[in-house]
């Protein structure tokens, strides 16, 4: 695998073999998770919704106080990496921007940010998925709420909790007791015939797939107390790696319809619209 990297010692950016890349041990992304990232799907060497992903990368960087990333430069890095790895298809393109070298603590150093673009195979999602509600909450009022940062340990712990219980994804409530999001996905549910996803004020990431589902398939943003999950008729996850993936069961309760008509329609529309426009 070959990857693109820019930052201290790499100038304007170079494509290197993965084993050639050397990240300083004092990079703030390593020591304290001070960074932001995006995951982009590429099919046939073409990234999907790259413009939206780069805009969100810039919003996340601004949200944690990093310098504005050079989006044109990063887009060119994505192009170079995909051209250097033509056999990887579909590809998982990971864009990471960190604060660069810093002290062993929370203070940032004066150095140049580090930017990396790596690629790997994108495993195809299962036809359906079981989810479990974890006992920890998302803080919708926190400094990182809604930002896609590299501080992902909470998600690692939650996903491990779900795997131990035979599920493929964990879902969080927020501090108000309302549905929030998955570890790497947004959640849509159908209750009383209404397609609902938590509003951004509830603390979920502003997912690109979520955004496109709302634009292309309709639905509404509304709070849903997790105490009402037993009323859910059908549900699905939305993410870059899953597209629209039906949920089969929540906390062991099989949903009455999996996939139901609303989910099937969302799957069909997303597949059709996504195939017709690679940068919607």
CATH number of the domain where residue 246 is located: 3.20.10.10
CATH code of the domain containing 94: 3.30.470.10
Model confidence over 62-116: pLDDT tens digits? 999 999 999 999 999 999 999 999 999 999 999 999 999 999 999 998 888 999 9
Same domain membership, residue 113 and residue 16: yes
Asked whether residue 137 falls in the same domain as residue 263, the answer is yes
Model confidence at 228: pLDDT above 80? yes
Q: How far is CA 199 from CA 106, 122, 149, 205, 235, in A?
A: 31, 28, 19, 10, 16
pLDDT above 90 (res 22): no
pLDDT confidence of residue 11: 63
- At residue 144, the pLDDT reads 95
Q: Are residues 115 and 133 in the same domain?
A: no
- Rounded Cα–Cα distance for residues 166 and 91 (Å): 27
Choose one of 100, 121, 142: the last residue of a domain: 121
Q: Structural domain of residue 10, as residue ranges? A: 2-121
- Looking at the 3D structure of the chain, how many domains does it have? 2
Separation of alpha carbons 115 and 92, rounded Å = 17
Q: Are residues 95 and 229 in the same domain?
A: no
For β-strands 114-121 and 179-182, DSSP reports them as: unpaired
Note the pLDDT tens digit of each residue in 232-262: 999 999 999 999 999 999 999 999 989 999 9
* Rounded Cα–Cα distance for residues 169 and 184 (Å): 8
Tokens of 89: 């298809």
Q: Are residues 101 and 155 in the same domain?
A: no
């Amino acid at each position: 695998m070959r990857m693109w990297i820019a930052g201290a010692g790499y100038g304007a950016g170079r494509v290197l073999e993965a084993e050639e890349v050397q990240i300083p041990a004092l990079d703030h992304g390593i020591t304290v998770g001070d960074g932001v990232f995006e995951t982009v799907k590429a099919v046939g060497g073409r990234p999907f919704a790259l413009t939206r992903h780069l805009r969100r990368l810039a919003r996340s960087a601004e949200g944690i106080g990093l310098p504005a990333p050079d989006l044109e430069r990063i887009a060119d890095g994505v192009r170079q990496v995909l051209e250097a790895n033509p056999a990887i298809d579909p590809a998982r393109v990971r864009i990471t921007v960190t604060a660069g070298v810093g002290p062993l603590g929370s203070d940032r150093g004066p150095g140049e940010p580090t930017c990396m673009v790596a690629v790997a195979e994108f495993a195809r999602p299962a036809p359906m998925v079981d989810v479990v509600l974890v006992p920890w909450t998302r803080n919708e009022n926190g400094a990182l709420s809604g930002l896609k940062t590299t501080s992902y340990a909470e998600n690692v712990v939650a996903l491990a909790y779900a795997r131990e219980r035979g599920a493929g994804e964990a879902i969080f409530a927020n501090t108000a007791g309302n549905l929030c999001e998955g570890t790497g996905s947004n959640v849509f549910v159908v209750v009383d015939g209404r397609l609902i996803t938590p509003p951004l004020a509830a603390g979920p990431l502003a997912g690109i797939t979520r955004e496109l589902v709302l634009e292309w398939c309709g639905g509404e943003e509304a709070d849903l107390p997790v105490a009402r999950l037993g009323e859910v008729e059908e549900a699905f996850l939305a993410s870059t790696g899953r597209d629209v993936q039906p949920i089969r069961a929540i906390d062991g309760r099989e949903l009455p319809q999996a996939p139901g008509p609303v989910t099937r329609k969302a799957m069909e529309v997303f597949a059709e619209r996504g195939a017709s426009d690679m940068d919607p």
